[in-house]
Amino acid sequence: MKTGKQYIGPVYQATIILLLTFIAYSPVLNNGFTNWDDPLYVTENPLIRTFNFHHFQLWFTQPFQGLYQPLILASLAIDYSFHGLNPYYFHLTNLILHLANTLLVFIFIRKLFKNRISALLVALLFGLHPIHVESVAWITERKDVLYTFFFLIALIFYLNFRQSEKRKYYALTMLFFILALISKVSAVVLPLLLILIDYYHGRKLFGRKVIIEKIPLLILALLFGLGNIYFHRDFGSLANYSNLSIPMRLLLASKGLMYYLYKTIWPNTLAVYNPLPLSISTAIIVECLIHFLVYVTAIILLLKLKSRILIFGALFFLEAILFFLIPPGEPVLASERYAYVSSIGLFVIIAYLMYKMRQMLKNSAGQFLIYTVFTIWLGFLGLKTHNQAKVWKSSFSLWDHVIEVRGESFLALLQRGNIYTEVGEYEKAINDYSRSIEIHPAYYKTYDQFGHVQLLRGNYDASIKAYTKSLELNPDGEYAHLSLGFTYRQTGDLELAMNHLNKALRLNPVNPEIYYNRGKIYLEQGQNENACADFRNALKIGLTGKNQLETLDFVNSLCK
């Protein structure tokens, strides 16, 4: 029987960890939405506005934004159904999930290593480290905190299965793996981490039993991985907007990897956007080669030390982050959200090194020094997290911060220009868009937004020119086709307007704005039956705002 002291110990530790984590992240509860994908996922997303069978069907039968993520949509819809568009509750849910994940890390490490000090240190680092602020403070990154919740539970049930050999724990591992997969495809690495756990436990990795256990999990990972690659490619998210060759991006992956390692130790400046260099200089090539030399040296050292814990930590980090070292789409060097799970491996290494130093310095003064240094560092991390959480207060604070710490990058200027457009400061928006195009003239989304601000100013010719340029760079741009459909309708060219709206509809059959705009054209052409069909579709999918009210009037007066 466990004594009271043995029972209270971990409970007390977990309570302190969660309290410190809550204090560090508490500023997020005062934050609002940002324009960094929050409109797509929350504020302008008709798919989360109502909980009904039609939306449930859409969540689970088709991808959203190029990814299959039905549980994310369901989670956001739950928040919306209770609290509407109140950002406090969306942030609160993210924070609760991060607190839950911190507790799960504590349980996982304690069960894996049977060491309460390691569990305490790793969980403290996971809960307080500012490299995780992006995953928690960014409402859209509900993806990270939700999939990690299921992911960690799957790891814990696998440890239970290993200890007891009971099939129910294997079934629960599979169940929570599936829940993680339908939250975010990043969960595909789970089978690799389970093999890593087997390695730590000294199992024969190529034994018949080990292989049979992993086959169903690997099949699931493969199916979801390939499926999401297809959806991502079909959506256009795999496009290489950096204009750098694959060999060059592989080379730069070494620089990105060093970013994660360095920022784990000293996160002095963090930002939501860390741009790739748009051209490769000799100095960058030399820097990347030096990084490769460091990695090779580290691998040799790890093999010589033959420490299962160090190898476990290193491989956990690499396996969890491997697929993000050359991120698709936006030309980024690194994104802190990709360290949310992978950092656990680095924290394991840090905890182990502290343990070894404590063993080496057996006198009380030496041990006191180690814990003092760690406590000061932990305090720095917590304070940095507290301040970094405030960066996400608004779109302006977010992108001003990026420009301040990373300099003028085309994406940060584009996003700040979008905010200026939203608040009606069109000249400032045009200045930011123009500067963004100067830096990176091949990025189609900047032309989309430049066209939008010109449309708001009533400058239809400039708007059409910008959208046309966008389609030259990205022929399957749904937004550009929809916007050209609207613009041509304003100029009276209904044939061209209809042509672009039909193309937009083929690209995205669940965008209510497309049906609304096409319905307006049908109405102008006297095709009331077709107009009624489109208006009803727009309302069914979830048309919002003044267009919704106008469409309801049309349906009530024209459609029988």
Is the same domain home to 210 and 181? yes
pLDDT digits (tens, 9 = 90+) for 184-233: 999 999 999 999 999 999 998 888 888 999 999 999 999 999 998 888 77
The neighbour count for residue 42, using CB atoms within 10 Å, is: 20
Average pLDDT over residues 442-453: 95
Is the same domain home to 276 and 414? no
Copy the structure tokens of residue 107.
């349980």
Is the same domain home to 473 and 496? yes
Q: Is the pLDDT of residue 242 over 80?
A: no
Calculate the average pLDDT of the chain. 92
| CB of 190 closer than 8 Å to CB of 147 | no
168 contacts: CB under 8 Å, gap ≥ 6: none
Q: Cα–Cα distance between 199 and 205 in angstroms, integer?
A: 7
> Tokens 């000249």 belong to which residue?
427
The residue type of 411 is L
pTM summary value: 0.88
For 58, 187, 198, 204, the CA distances from 211, given in Å and listed in that order, are 36, 19, 11, 10
| CB of 412 closer than 8 Å to CB of 403 | yes
Copy the structure tokens of residue 467.
């959208």
The neighbour count for residue 168, using CB atoms within 10 Å, is: 11
Copy the structure tokens of residue 46.
């008709």
For 385, 428, 522, the CA distances from 457, given in Å and listed in that order, are 41, 13, 26
Q: Cα–Cα distance between 398 and 136 in angstroms, integer?
A: 14
DSSP string, 354-391: HHHHHHH--SHHHHHHHHHHHHHHHHHHHHHHHHHHHH
pLDDT score at 3: 40
Which of 363, 378, 395 is the last residue in one of the domains?
Answer: 395
Is the same domain home to 279 and 385? yes
Which of 395, 422, 439 is the last residue in one of the domains?
Answer: 395
Closest to 73 in 3D by CA, of 49, 95, 108, 99: 49
* Phi, psi of 266, rounded to the nearest 5 degrees: -135, 80
pLDDT score at 330: 67
Domain residue limits at 159: 4-395
Is the same domain home to 170 and 192? yes
Which of 395, 430, 449 is the last residue in one of the domains?
Answer: 395
Is the same domain home to 332 and 453? no
182 contacts: CB under 8 Å, gap ≥ 6: 68, 69, 70, 71
pLDDT score at 239: 65
pLDDT digits (tens, 9 = 90+) for 317-364: 999 999 888 766 667 899 999 999 999 999 999 999 998 888 887 777
Is the same domain home to 357 and 473? no
Is the same domain home to 379 and 420? no
Is the same domain home to 386 and 416? no
pLDDT score at 5: 43
Q: Is the pLDDT of residue 4 over 50?
A: no
Average pLDDT over residues 85-103: 98
Q: Cα–Cα distance between 92 and 136 in angstroms, integer?
A: 10
pLDDT score at 2: 41
pLDDT digits (tens, 9 = 90+) for 250-260: 888 999 999 99
* Phi, psi of 333, rounded to the nearest 5 degrees: -80, -45
Is the same domain home to 257 and 188? yes
For 64, 67, 280, 390, 433, the CA distances from 234, given in Å and listed in that order, are 11, 10, 29, 36, 27
> Tokens 């994406």 belong to which residue?
411
CATH code, domain with 521: 1.25.40.10
Copy the structure tokens of residue 82.
């209770």
Burial of 100 (0-12, 13-18, 19+ CB in 10 A): middle
> Tokens 């042509």 belong to which residue?
499
Is the same domain home to 387 and 415? no
The neighbour count for residue 389, using CB atoms within 10 Å, is: 23
Is the same domain home to 237 and 310? yes
Q: Is the pLDDT of residue 467 over 80?
A: yes
Q: Cα–Cα distance between 538 and 49 in angstroms, integer?
A: 13
The residue type of 200 is Y
Structural domain count of the chain: 2
| CB of 255 closer than 8 Å to CB of 215 | no
pLDDT digits (tens, 9 = 90+) for 496-526: 999 999 999 999 998 999 999 999 999 999 8
Q: Is the pLDDT of residue 24 over 80?
A: yes
